[in-house]
Amino acid sequence: MQAMNARAKLEKVPETRVAADFLAKTMGLEVPAETATVWSHILQRTREHLFLVGISLSAAILVAVPLGIAAARRPRLGQIILGIVAAIYTIPSLALLVFMIPLLGIGAWPAIVALFLYSLLPIVRNTQEGLRGIPLPVRESAEVLGLSPMAKLFRIELPMASGAILAGIKTSAVINVGTATLGALIGAGGYGQPILTGIRLDDLSLILQGAVPAALLALAAQVVFELLEFAVVPRGLHLKAEKARN
């Protein structure tokens, strides 16, 4: 093992080549070493990372937005909801991942559940604040028009709170991209895998293969949600925000 580690760490021989040579020498097994390029590795890790972030964030949106609506409409219930999701958010990410192992084992799904739990607080809080920030005259106008509670929610309240809701989703997405790198500790893959391997082998190039794409993905997520905000948020709210800045 010392000789194999020395080949990988000091001579910079790929781990797959070292393992293949060991099997050929000790067991007579001819196992082809992996010859994938750096870009193919990055592409594979990107798919794994997007799977972790995409599934966990989508589930968080489906759960957190209704929780934020309930929190806005029922203040006492809202305090309980925010207290629970805030308490979850204060748990260190590494501790939460380790806690998932006895419940769900290792792999992608325990990491997805942990990321889902971390995504709740920004979305719940921003949804609540966005709905509570709707001016009273607008609420009264909806009542005068005789809109049903569901019609008022989908036609008036959610469109007006869409900017705040999207801001919360954007925050969760950026946080998830960074936190998902820790999923490699429990076999979830993603950009954390080359980072951990690079740290173990003291290989800066491997570390950068995970760190740089993770940073670029976080920036891309921010840009995507900013563009989505311009497409989804009513134009009048954009004009109001620009006047407030000026």
pTM of the model: 0.80
pLDDT of 69: 93
pLDDT of 60: 95
pLDDT of 93: 82
Show the domains of the chain with their CATH numbers: 1-35 (no CATH), 43-245 (1.10.3720.10)
What the block records as the tokens of 130 is: 């966005």
Q: Which of 47-56, 114-123, 168-177, 220-229 has the lowest mean pLDDT?
A: 220-229
Residue 32, classed as helix, strand or coil, is coil
Angle between the 75-90 and 38-73 helix axes, to the nearest 10 degrees? 150
pLDDT of 12: 67
Question: Could you read off the pLDDT of 199-228 as tens digits, one per residue?
Answer: 877 778 888 888 899 999 999 998 888 888
pLDDT > 50? residue 244: no
pLDDT of 240: 53
pLDDT of 133: 85
Yes or no: say if 189 and 241 are a contact pair by the CB < 8 Å rule. Answer: no
Handedness of CA 131, 74, 174, 155 (dihedral sign): negative
